[in-house]
């Protein structure tokens, strides 16, 4: 069975309440759970709290009557920025600085992400975000579902509900799908091989569920994998599990163009709109994106067979050369413009 078919079955099981379709039998699942526990003991979580990145960015673009864009970040320790040393090194701050630079508007960031969160744990974060009615919500989740051996349909069902509620409230939603955990060295074989397969299939199913619920996805996949093998001390933090500041910058650079686009900050090239090769059925688009990190998947209308077409894009955007730390909300500060 192809990855597209498996991802489609997982998404269907999520939609209709199925809990099966696990990759492995009960005995193998027990083995993997034990290996996952060992990986948790091996991975040394950085000491100290995650830097607080909440606040205002791009205050140099503030003017009378210009309301800041509101950005909410939901998810797990990667969304929170564990492994970063300063607020400006976290994914939320990098996104906020980048959006301010692209859109020439101030950005107010609220990061609700919780270290260790599973997809099922997103609902308190969702409630906090819905109170704000953010212009855009960015969700990074899924890795803990794999290491905790959560069945993919269960994980995807929760994600679909979260994305659907955010979209229904008027927020644009961008999901960074589950990274490829097969690149993480503290995870041993056979768990590493299974994690690679499981995380990619979860990423594909996340894409199907997100697009059907009204959001877009960007695949993170093995975005850091090849570079990590060559220079693990550069792109991963001391625990060899969470990204380093350089790793977060690389991942955020993949997310930023899509987040800016849903806010109207980047025009879509005409030739991209007309390229039939970019259109695929949603399950096939999801599978293709899972195999190539940095690929955006968005809805492109219904298919003749009653499914949904999806459009794939790969975007590149440089982050601001000198990202800043946040200012307290409401602070008006004059700063030199950052370089894109």
284 is catalytic: no
Catalytic residue among 8, 158, 242, 284: 242
pLDDT value for 154: 93
Per-domain residue ranges of the chain: 3-314
Q: Model pTM?
A: 0.83
- In the CATH scheme, what is the code of domain 3-314? 3.40.50.1110
Residue 154 near residue 14, CB atoms below 8 Å: yes
**H/E stretch holding 103:** helix 91-103
CB distance 148 to 199 below 8 Å: no
Q: In what order do the strands lie in the sheet containing 279-281?
A: 55-57, 107-111, 69-75, 136-140, 172-176, 216-218, 295-302, 308-314, 279-281
SS3 content of the chain, % helix, strand, coil (to 5): 45, 15, 40
Gap between the Cα atoms of 211 and 173, Å rounded: 10
For residue 38, the model assigns a pLDDT of 47
Contact 242, 82 (CB under 8 A): yes
Task: Please report the pLDDT score of residue 244 as a whole number.
Answer: 76
Q: Are strands 216-218 and 295-302 parallel, antiparallel or unpaired?
A: antiparallel
Strand partners, 295: 314
Q: Which of 54, 121, 148, 239 is catalytic?
A: 239
Quick one: pLDDT at residue 43?
Answer: 47
Determine the Cα–Cα distance for residues 200 and 219; give it in Å rounded to an integer.
9
Profile the chain (340 residues) by mean pLDDT over runs of 10 residues: 60 53 48 53 58 93 85 95 90 95 94 95 98 97 86 93 97 93 62 75 93 94 61 53 78 92 70 56 89 88 73 74 75 38
**Following CA atoms 184, 187, 190, 193 in sequence, which dihedral angle do they give, to the nearest 10 degrees?**
-20
Q: Do 304 and 286 meet the contact criterion of CB atoms below 8 Å apart? A: no
* Six-digit token string for 313: 């894009």
Give kind and range of the element (H or E) at residue 218. strand 216-218
Beta strands in 12-114 (DSSP E): 55-57, 69-75, 107-111
Q: Do β-strands 216-218 and 279-281 pair in parallel, antiparallel, or remain unpaired?
A: unpaired
Indicate if 242 belongs to the active site. Answer: yes
- Predicted pLDDT of residue 309: 86
CB proximity list for 7: less than 8 A, separation 6 or greater: 201, 204, 205, 207, 208, 283, 286, 287, 290
pLDDT at 269: 47
DSSP codes joined into one string, 228-270: HHH-HHHHB-TTSSSB-HHHHHHHHHHHHHHHHHHTT-SPPPH
**Residue 215 three-state SS:** coil
pLDDT score for 149: 80
Of the candidates 8, 77, 135, 219, the residue annotated as catalytic is 77
**Is residue 77 annotated as part of the catalytic site, yes or no?**
yes
**Per-residue model confidence (pLDDT) at position 20:** 43
Two tokens at 132? 């704000």
């Amino acid at each position: 069975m192809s990855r597209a078919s498996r991802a489609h079955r997982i998404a269907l099981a999520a939609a209709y309440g199925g809990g099966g379709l696990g990759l492995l039998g009960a005995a193998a699942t027990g083995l993997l759970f034990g290996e996952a526990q060992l990986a948790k003991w091996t991975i040394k979580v950085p000491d100290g709290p995650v830097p607080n990145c909440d606040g205002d960015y791009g205050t140099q673009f503030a003017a009378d009557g210009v309301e800041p864009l509101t950005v909410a970040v939901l998810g797990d320790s990667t969304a929170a920025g564990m492994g970063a040393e300063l607020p400006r090194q976290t994914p939320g701050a990098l996104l906020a600085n980048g959006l301010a630079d692209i859109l020439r508007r101030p950005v107010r960031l609220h990061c609700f992400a919780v270290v260790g969160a599973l997809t099922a744990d997103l609902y308190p974060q969702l409630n906090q975000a819905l109170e704000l009615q953010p212009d855009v919500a960015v969700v990074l989740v899924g890795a803990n579902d794999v290491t905790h051996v959560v069945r993919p349909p269960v994980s995807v069902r929760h994600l679909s509900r979260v994305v659907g509620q955010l979209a229904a409230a008027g927020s644009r939603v961008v999901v960074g799908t589950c990274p490829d955990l097969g690149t993480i060295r503290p995870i041993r074989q056979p768990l590493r091989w299974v994690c690679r397969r499981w995380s990619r299939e979860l990423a594909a199913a996340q894409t199907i569920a997100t697009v059907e619920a009204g959001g877009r996805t960007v695949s993170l996949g093995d975005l850091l994998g090849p570079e990590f093998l060559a220079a693990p001390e550069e792109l991963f933090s001391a625990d060899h599990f969470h990204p380093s500041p350089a790793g977060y910058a690389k991942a955020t650079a993949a997310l930023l163009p899509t987040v800016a686009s849903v806010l109207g900050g980047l025009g879509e090239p005409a030739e991209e709109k007309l390229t039939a090769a970019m259109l695929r059925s949603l399950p096939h688009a999801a599978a293709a994106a899972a195999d190539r990190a940095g690929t955006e998947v968005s809805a492109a209308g219904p298919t003749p067979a009653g499914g949904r077409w999806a459009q794939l894009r790969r975007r590149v955007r440089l982050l601001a050369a000198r990202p800043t730390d946040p200012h307290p909300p409401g602070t008006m500060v004059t700063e030199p413009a950052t370089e894109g």
